[in-house]
Structure 1
Amino acid sequence: MRNPLAMVAAASLLGTVALTGCAKASHDGTSSDGGPTRITMWTHSAGNPGELAVYKKIIDDFNASQSRYEVVQQNFPQGSYNDAVTAAAAARNLPCLIDMDGPIMPNWAWAGYLQPLGLPTGLTDSLLPTTVGTYRGTVYSAGYWDAALALFARKSVLEKNGIRIPTVEQPWNRTEFDAAIGKLKDSGYRTPLDLGAADKGEWWSYAYSPMLQSAGGDEIDRTGLKSAAGALDGPDSVAFFTWFQQVFKNGWANGNGPVGNQNFIDDKVALSYTGVWNAKDAFDKVGSDLLILPPVDFGKGPKIGGGSWQWGISTGCGKAQSEGARAYLEFSFQDKYLTEFADSQVVIPATAGATAASTYFGQDGALRQFAVLSQKFALARPATPGYPVVSTSFEKAAKDIMNGADVKSTLDAAVKAIDSDIKSNNGYGN
């Protein structure tokens, strides 16, 4: 499958556009011949045949199950989905159903062109919390799946070097992690750890802000979402990023490619911090020697990122179309579809029933550990309309620090950029 974080990076750009004004018109409506109400659905999935095949099955089944509504799908390549949604929002001509990256949803809701999702609470309560998008106490989006991160290792390598294999119940702490990396470097690995630092865009916030949270910091003060001061530039954050910088200075990790998991597959690194999207290939190549390890506990408990692509209903939907869109979404969240989606794309199903039935994530599935990690440790990114600026500011600061910049002054600059954006948008209503 495609790396979902690459898709996230594309979608995040949408949040930087001034999407003001509700989409009061849409492509949807009752057909002129008195047929079923037509509901247009846009996805970013062109170029992903496995994903499209599952959507086609859901849509065909829904359309055949009743005669009131007809869902019509339109797919955009990842690279042009951005422009299509931006143009439609500006023209107040969004379709009824749109998919979106989870952390961008608050920006869209704040801009006024998403309506509350309105699905039964019994349904949304059954989903992984990180697959439900909530802004200011209201649910605006929900998704079929989530991604998760882990550390990949070879059991044989850890055992050979006398390194304890961490568990969900007893993960490595930072001292143990540092000691393990040091041993692996001494054993002959020129660069023992791949942190994925050659990647760019949303990966940085998704991958490293949970580490920061585990250390006691954060991208923004989540109490009121009004400022990053004290959260991103406080003592815990300075301590974490000092360690982060040292990892690269020590030669334990580097910022060079390739992006992905190839260095681990080729045994050029002993530990790889990567996502579920690379897990099947790793298992196929490494086999039973593969370990899927929990994240490191930097002091406040292990954390990983959560929140991937989700579905929402635009304010361009009329009453009849909105009812049809909700009927379709409720129909689509059946476990059988979520399981098929998960096994087709190798992503974590959003419900317990779909997970239990999954080839990869069920009780005996080779990638079961990812479902466990997602349930126990996943955190959503900050639910603020200002998230695009939070994310890009975090990425810039972390990259500068990786490359040797002064830690405290770099974090102070990131706080200033985030707080300036919040102030210029009148606090985003908070």
Structure 2
Amino acid sequence: MSKAFKVAVAVATVGALLGLAGCAKGGSSSNSDGSVTLWTHNAGNPDELKAVNQVVDSFNQSQSKVKVKVQAFPQDSYNQSVTAAAASKKLPCIMDIDGPNVPNWAWAGYLAPISGMDDTLSKFLPSTVGKFKDKIYSFGLYDVSLVMIARKSVLDENGIRVPTIQQPWTAAEYEAALAKLKASGKFEQAGDLGTGQTGEWWPYAYSPFLQSFGGDLINRSDYKTADGALNGPAAVAWANWFHGLVAKGYVSAKSGADPVADFVNGKTGIVYSGSWAAQPARDKFGDDALFLPSVDLGKGPKVGGASWQWGMSKSCSNPDGAAAFLKYLASDDNIALMAKATKTIPTTEAAAAKVPGYAAGGGNDIFRQYSKNYAVLRPVTPGYPFIATTFGKAAQDIINGADPKQTLDQAVKDIDANQKQNNYFQ
């Protein structure tokens, strides 16, 4: 998993997230000096941590009623730290949360609803506002978008149409493009879907393909069953297509550890990656680098939505102070600051105008348009961490040749059992 990809995905800790339900209720997150503690996952990401500290310092200097103190954790251990703190009733007042985990943390009692910010958050990209049961629990200052990256010269040389947001590639066009690139003999692999990556990348990257076919990870009407969504005709068609790309020799069942580097080094014709890959591609290829919409597999292109977001713990002993910081954090200037530091998509149009390339018509504006038009949230249910790992395993089995229907049926049984066991997270 690339370092840049970490801003896009959850790190699902299934046992901890599902097993500590309700442990955060009660307790106190007060400090003896009356300050408010903020936890972030950015200990290993100096650019974003620097931006967080800059916002905190600015807030602290802007008023004298509350002082925010930052504590940073490595991302790999962050979720475990939160669940352990919840169990011992020592959650901080302010936390960052990976978007897909928000429903689980809200259901478990970790988070308090955010109020008084509806007007501000109405200007945010929908994928950056975390909700559960019609209440807002978090918001993010940025998002990212999946894209197909290619070179214009390579597409032109092989007679491949350059897709647009108005007319993306169809499944047939995408496969035809891969066939031409394979036949050219100039690439180690015609396409790279990033199948060598692990963890949350699998549901983040490949459930949008499933959704573009018309399937889904679970029925979203009531989040009680995955039957029909994950094992119906559309889902089976997705599975056959997914494995078929490998069977036809267009992509590898396990690609290299750094797909963007492989593309930049000329090993790959078309790489499926994200907006975080724009800079290295441009550094190598300049204007020849193209950042194309994902493939329309029948129901329009889809990309995963929601990245890291901010919320307030339910046990915070100074909710007014925490709320004041959150309102300060959500300003367009702070959004722009964070987007610059993380090289991500600013969540408001006003902030985008402050970030080079993201203003309307800028070179990076296309990523914001993809996010705005194509983003699908991962299932808004506390059961998502289990759904994510279950789908990830099924997808890996399928791409390696397992029977699609049998594999998906088993995934449905497992997901349904988990939802039922937890009383559908009521």
Q: TM-score range by the shorter chain?
A: over 0.9
Rounded to whole Å, the distance in 2 between the matches of 1:185 and 1:216 is 28
Rounded to whole Å, the distance in 1 between the matches of 2:276 and 2:13 is 19
Rounded to whole Å, the distance in 2 between the matches of 1:6 and 1:398 is 22
Q: State the 1:312 CA deviation.
A: 1.0
CA contact (8 A) 2:8 2:143 kept: no
Pairwise CA RMSD: 1.5
Q: State the 1:6 CA deviation.
A: 7.3
Going from structure 1 to structure 2, the CA distance change for 1:159 and 1:7 (only over 3 Å counts) comes to closer
Task: Describe the SS at the equivalent of 1:310.
Answer: strand
Q: TM-score with structure 2 length normalisation?
A: 0.96
Rounded to whole Å, the distance in 2 between the matches of 1:6 and 1:72 is 22
| Partner of residue 213, structure 1 | 211
CA contact (8 A) 2:10 2:101 kept: no
Q: Deviations over 1:131-166 (max 9, x none)?
A: 000111111111110011100000000001111100
Q: State the 1:333 CA deviation.
A: 1.2
| Partner of residue 170, structure 2 | 173
Q: State the 1:2 CA deviation.
A: 2.8
For the pair 1:56 / 2:53, whether they are aligned, the reply is yes
Choose the corresponding residue for 2:24, options 19, 22, 25: 22
Choose the corresponding residue for 1:103, options 97, 100, 103: 100
CA contact (8 A) 1:130 1:307 kept: yes
Q: State the 1:24 CA deviation.
A: 1.9
Which letter does structure 1 place at the counterpart of 2:191? L
| Partner of residue 267, structure 1 | 266
Q: State the 1:11 CA deviation.
A: 4.9
Which letter does structure 2 place at the counterpart of 1:271? I
Q: Deviations over 1:229-264 (max 9, x none)?
A: 000000000011101011011111011312341111
Q: Deviations over 1:199-232 (max 9, x none)?
A: 0111111111111111100000001110000000
CA contact (8 A) 2:144 2:275 kept: yes
Which letter does structure 1 place at the counterpart of 2:21? L
Which letter does structure 2 place at the counterpart of 1:120? M
Q: Report the more deviating stretch, 400-409 or 185-194.
A: 185-194
- Trace 1:130-169 onto structure 2 (pairs within 5 A): 130-169=127-166
CA contact (8 A) 2:115 2:136 kept: yes
Rounded to whole Å, the distance in 2 between the matches of 1:252 and 1:132 is 37
Q: Deviations over 1:269-293 (max 9, x none)?
A: 1100001122111111111100000
Rounded to whole Å, the distance in 1 between the matches of 2:53 and 2:188 is 47
Aligned length: 422
Task: Describe the SS at the equivalent of 2:42.
Answer: strand
Q: State the 1:64 CA deviation.
A: 1.1
Q: State the 1:175 CA deviation.
A: 1.0
- Trace 1:31-430 onto structure 2 (pairs within 5 A): 31=33, 37-188=34-185, 189-254=187-252, 255-318=254-317, 321-363=318-360, 365-429=362-426
Task: Describe the SS at the equivalent of 1:10.
Answer: coil
Q: State the 1:360 CA deviation.
A: 3.3
Rounded to whole Å, the distance in 1 between the matches of 2:259 and 2:61 is 41
Q: State the 1:16 CA deviation.
A: 4.2
Rounded to whole Å, the distance in 2 between the matches of 1:47 and 1:39 is 22
Which letter does structure 1 place at the counterpart of 2:24? C
Q: Deviations over 1:347-379 (max 9, x none)?
A: 101111111111132235432221111111111
Which letter does structure 1 place at the counterpart of 2:206? Y
Task: Describe the SS at the equivalent of 1:141.
Answer: strand
Rounded to whole Å, the distance in 2 between the matches of 1:399 and 1:80 is 25
Going from structure 1 to structure 2, the CA distance change for 1:12 and 1:348 (only over 3 Å counts) comes to farther
Q: State the 1:30 CA deviation.
A: 6.3
Task: Describe the SS at the equivalent of 1:284.
Answer: helix
Q: TM-score with structure 1 length normalisation?
A: 0.95
Q: State the 1:25 CA deviation.
A: 2.1
CA contact (8 A) 1:207 1:305 kept: yes
CA contact (8 A) 2:17 2:83 kept: no
Rounded to whole Å, the distance in 1 between the matches of 2:330 and 2:13 is 25
Q: Point out where structure 1 has 5 or more consecutive residues left out of the alignment.
A: 32-36
CA contact (8 A) 1:7 1:78 kept: no
Q: State the 1:176 CA deviation.
A: 0.9
| Partner of residue 34, structure 1 | none
Rounded to whole Å, the distance in 2 between the matches of 1:412 and 1:259 is 32
Identity between Structure 1 and Structure 2 (%): 45
Q: Point out where structure 2 has 5 or more consecutive residues left out of the alignment.
A: none
CA contact (8 A) 2:113 2:136 kept: yes
Which letter does structure 1 place at the counterpart of 2:248? N
Q: Deviations over 1:20-53 (max 9, x none)?
A: 333422332563xxxxx41110001112221111
Q: Deviations over 1:325-359 (max 9, x none)?
A: 11101111111111121111111011111111111
Rounded to whole Å, the distance in 1 between the matches of 2:238 and 2:76 is 34
Going from structure 1 to structure 2, the CA distance change for 1:423 and 1:402 (only over 3 Å counts) comes to same
Q: State the 1:4 CA deviation.
A: 3.5
Going from structure 1 to structure 2, the CA distance change for 1:224 and 1:206 (only over 3 Å counts) comes to same
Q: State the 1:17 CA deviation.
A: 3.9
Rounded to whole Å, the distance in 2 between the matches of 1:268 and 1:235 is 35
Task: Describe the SS at the equivalent of 2:401.
Answer: coil
CA contact (8 A) 1:5 1:203 kept: no
Rounded to whole Å, the distance in 1 between the matches of 2:92 and 2:315 is 7
Q: State the 1:115 CA deviation.
A: 1.0
